[in-house]
């Protein structure tokens, strides 16, 4: 019609789509591409029968493709609240762009992809919005990453759980440890039949991996340079104060040998990593240690302290304690 209408420049072609076949948004977009000048629609698709085209979905679809719709939807939560209050009608939790779960990712594969996309942007690739599963930046419509994007339940994976611990609390867990923590969090969520909040994920991590002090509670550790490193470790073991001394090719190896010789527990250190918990010279150090016991089972522990050596010893002891508690189960 636009190609064949006389005096087209003097006519406003207006679209007034209904959604009877569920195609209102698609029909409107095709109409705009064909030359239409104006759209008549409603917020959230409210209208007779199955409704008119949802102006919010249409406008933000255009926005996601780099077309400025010239409508201000920068505070979707406020618009949604106003709409529901004055009309008495609800907005479905999966309504495009507006629903509470639109930017939520529960699936492990989705969470992992989003976390990698966000990291890609943080590394300097931020000219365009290219995060998988998020067609637009949630903050552009008044949503928040922390509470809206990564949600934890029994479907969640290591990527999402690791993302929360890193971005909210500063713990950059090694890849294999993320799997270990992820399985535990998912199991707890499954047994509780509920979604876990970020603080609950943090509490699970702290209670099961960080500075575990039973049955071994570490005390003082002294090191001497003597054909390698000699470590003398004072600790409580099942409520009894003891001291053990042994050598190693490094401080952590020497402490490991001392604990192994006294407890009789067979294990080897399989992985060790560390980082500052916060930015700044006064930051605490956090260490992660993985051990493998005589049966080939892997255990992780985390230690936090102002001193990097002490934090690594705490991480080792936490891992050993987890292995000892597993043996008692």
Range with the poorest average pLDDT among 53-57, 111-115, 202-206, 254-258? 111-115
Do 250 and 181 fall within a single domain?
Answer: no
- Residues ≥6 apart with Cβ < 8 Å to 119: none
Give dist(CA 260, CA 117) in Å, integer.
43
Q: What pLDDT shows up at residue 281?
A: 56
DSSP secondary structure, 196-261, as one string: BPHHHHHHHHHHHHBS--SSEEEEEEEEEESSSEEEEEEEEETTEEEEEEEEESSHHHHHHHHHHH
What value does the mean pLDDT of the chain take? Answer: 91
The domain total for the chain is 3
Mean pLDDT of 56-69: 95
Question: How many degrees, rounded to 5, is the angle at CA 288 between CA 170 and CA 283?
Answer: 45
Express each pLDDT in 236-264 by its tens digit: 998 899 999 999 999 999 999 999 988 88
Q: What pLDDT shows up at residue 159?
A: 76
Q: What pLDDT shows up at residue 16?
A: 96
Classify residue 150: in a domain, yes or no. Answer: yes
Q: What pLDDT shows up at residue 58?
A: 97
Give dist(CA 301, CA 170) in Å, integer.
16
pTM value is 0.70
Q: What pLDDT shows up at residue 86?
A: 95
Do 127 and 184 fall within a single domain?
Answer: yes
Q: Last residue of some domain: 56, 87, 118?
A: 87
Classify residue 100: in a domain, yes or no. Answer: no
Do 171 and 194 fall within a single domain?
Answer: yes
Give dist(CA 207, CA 204) in Å, integer.
5
Do 181 and 205 fall within a single domain?
Answer: yes
Express each pLDDT in 259-314 by its tens digit: 998 888 899 999 999 999 876 656 899 999 999 998 999 999 999 999 999 999 99
Give dist(CA 45, CA 179) in Å, integer.
42
Classify residue 98: in a domain, yes or no. Answer: no
Could you tell me the residue range of the domain that residue 285 belongs to? 216-328
């Amino acid at each position: 019609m636009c190609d064949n209408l006389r005096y087209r420049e003097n006519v406003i072609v207006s679209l007034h789509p209904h959604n009877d076949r569920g195609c209102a948004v698609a029909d409107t977009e095709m109409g705009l591409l064909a030359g239409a000048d104006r759209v008549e629609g409603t917020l959230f698709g409210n209208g007779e029968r199955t409704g008119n085209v949802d102006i919010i979905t249409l406008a933000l679809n255009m926005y996601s493709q780099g077309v400025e719709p010239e409508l201000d939807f920068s505070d979707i939560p406020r618009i949604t609240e106003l709409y529901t209050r004055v009309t008495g009608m609800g907005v479905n939790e999966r309504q495009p762009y507006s629903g509470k779960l639109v930017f939520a990712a529960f699936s492990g594969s989705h969470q992992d992809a989003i976390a990698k996309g966000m990291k890609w942007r943080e590394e300097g690739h931020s000219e365009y919005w290219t995060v998988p599963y998020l067609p637009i930046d949630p903050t552009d419509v008044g949503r928040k990453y922390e509470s809206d994007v990564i949600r934890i339940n029994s479907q969640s994976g290591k990527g999402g759980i690791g993302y929360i611990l890193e971005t909210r609390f500063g713990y950059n867990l090694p890849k294999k440890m993320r799997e270990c923590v992820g399985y535990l969090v998912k199991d707890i969520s499954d047994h509780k039949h509920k979604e876990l909040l970020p603080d609950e994920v943090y509490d699970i991590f702290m209670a099961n991996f960080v500075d575990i002090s039973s049955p071994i509670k570490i005390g003082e550790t002294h090191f001497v340079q003597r054909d390698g490193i000699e470590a003398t470790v004072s600790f409580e073991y099942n409520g009894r104060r003891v001291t053990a001394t042994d050598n190693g090719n490094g401080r952590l190896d020497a402490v490991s040998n001392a604990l192994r010789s006294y407890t009789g527990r067979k294990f080897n250190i399989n992985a060790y990593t560390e980082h500052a918990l916060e930015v700044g010279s006064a930051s605490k150090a956090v260490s992660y240690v993985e051990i493998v016991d005589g049966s080939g089972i892997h255990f992780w522990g985390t230690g936090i302290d102002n001193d990097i050596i002490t934090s690594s010893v705490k991480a080792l002891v936490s891992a050993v304690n987890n292995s000892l508690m597993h043996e008692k189960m």
